[in-house]
Amino acid sequence: AQSVTQPDIHITVSEGASLELRCNYSYGATPYLFWYVQSPGQGLQLLLKYFSGDTLVQGIKGFEAEFKRSQSSFNLRKPSVHWSDAAEYFCAVGAPGGSYIPTFGRGTSLIVHP
Amino acid sequence: EAGVAQSPRYKIIEKRQSVAFWCNPISGHATLYWYQQILGQGPKLLIQFQNNGVVDDSQLPKDRFSAERLKGVDSTLKIQPAKLEDSAVYLCASSSTRQGKNTEAFFGQGTRLTVV
């Protein structure tokens, strides 16, 4: 069965600083990988996805993520954080196939200091 | 393109009462998911539909939860009777297929259920 680990419950950064959120997955082959963001009281918005090909994936809002097969990781990065980036971030994994089921990590709460 | 629509946004009920949530997926999306998100946790899949058939409901507490997707479009999720531990946000998501495989899931804003 697939699973996702987000080791950091909270991350605090200063506005303008760089950001890296960690995500490790467990799956026997190359999965589909996703990062979603959730603002308070809102649903989940897709930031970026990896299905195949280039392991460095660009997403919306200036985010990027890198798939590293050897480390079973898909860390999310942003070079300069804005106060509006404060939210909950979820990494998800899905098994490629006709009916994959996205499995989510527990989330990382990003706090941005002015 | 309209997103996934859910209603109601908020619901407060007493334990042992029943409640129903409605979801209208993105037009043309064959796959529909219901997730439960308890405060401080990631979403947990309850049930997945492909058109009007159930693909996976292994984590659905079938003694109290039920879901249907008549005609392969809208879906309803029902809880009867509700328990305190059912307090959560219920998220509906949908996805399309590309070359026979599901693509990314798009989520609605969710229904926040409080059981008192």
Q: Select from B46, B90, B102, B109 the residue whose CB has the most chain A CBs within 10 Å, as the one to mutate to test that interface.
A: B102
Does pLDDT of A99 surpass 80? no
Nearest to A91 by CA among A17, A15, A42, A31: A31
Q: Do B109 and A49 touch (CB under 8 A)?
A: no
Q: Which residues of A10-28 are buried (b: 16+ CB within 10 A; e: fewer)?
A: ebebeeeeebebbbbbebe
Q: Which pLDDT belongs to residue A49?
A: 92
Collect all residues of chain B within an 8 Å Cβ-Cβ radius of residue A39.
none
Does B49 touch chain A if contact means CB atoms closer than 8 Å? no
Collect all residues of chain A within an 8 Å Cβ-Cβ radius of residue B42.
4, 90, 104-107
Q: Do A46 and B102 touch (CB under 8 A)?
A: no
Q: What is the DSSP letter of B23?
A: E
Residues A103-112: pLDDT tens digits? Answer: 899 999 999 9
Q: Do B56 and A101 touch (CB under 8 A)?
A: yes
Burial of B87 (0-12, 13-18, 19+ CB in 10 A): middle
Residues B12-65: pLDDT tens digits? Answer: 999 999 999 999 999 999 999 999 999 989 999 999 998 889 988 999 999 999
Q: Which pLDDT belongs to residue B103?
A: 77
- Chains A, B: CB pairs < 8 Å: 60
Collect all residues of chain B within an 8 Å Cβ-Cβ radius of residue A88.
none
Q: What is the DSSP letter of A36?
A: E
Residue of chain A whose alpha carbon sits nearest to that of B31: A99
Distance from CA of B49 to the nearest CA of A (A): 9
Residue A54 or B99, more confident: A54
Collect all residues of chain B within an 8 Å Cβ-Cβ radius of residue A37.
none
Distance from CA of A82 to the nearest CA of B (A): 23
Does B96 touch chain A if contact means CB atoms closer than 8 Å? no
How many alpha carbons fall within 13 Å on the CB side of residue A50? 23
Distance, CA of B69 to CA of B50 (rounded, Å): 9
Q: Which pLDDT belongs to residue A100?
A: 63
Q: Which pLDDT belongs to residue B65?
A: 98
Collect all residues of chain A within an 8 Å Cβ-Cβ radius of residue B94.
none
Q: Which pLDDT belongs to residue A30?
A: 80
Distance, CA of A84 to CA of A62 (rounded, Å): 12
Confidence of residue A97 (pLDDT cuts 50, 70, 90): low
Residues A22-68: pLDDT tens digits? Answer: 999 998 778 889 999 999 878 899 999 998 889 999 999 999 999 99
Beta bridge partners of A73: A24, A68
* Residue B59 CB neighbour total at 10 angstroms: 14
Q: Which pLDDT belongs to residue B1?
A: 63
Average pLDDT across chain A, whole number: 91
Q: Do A44 and B43 touch (CB under 8 A)?
A: yes
Does pLDDT of B10 surpass 70? yes
The distance of Cα B60 from the centroid of its chain, to the nearest Å, equals 11
Q: What is the DSSP letter of A70?
A: G
Residues B61-84: pLDDT tens digits? Answer: 999 999 999 888 999 999 999 999
Q: What percent of chain B shows pLDDT beyond 70?
A: 96
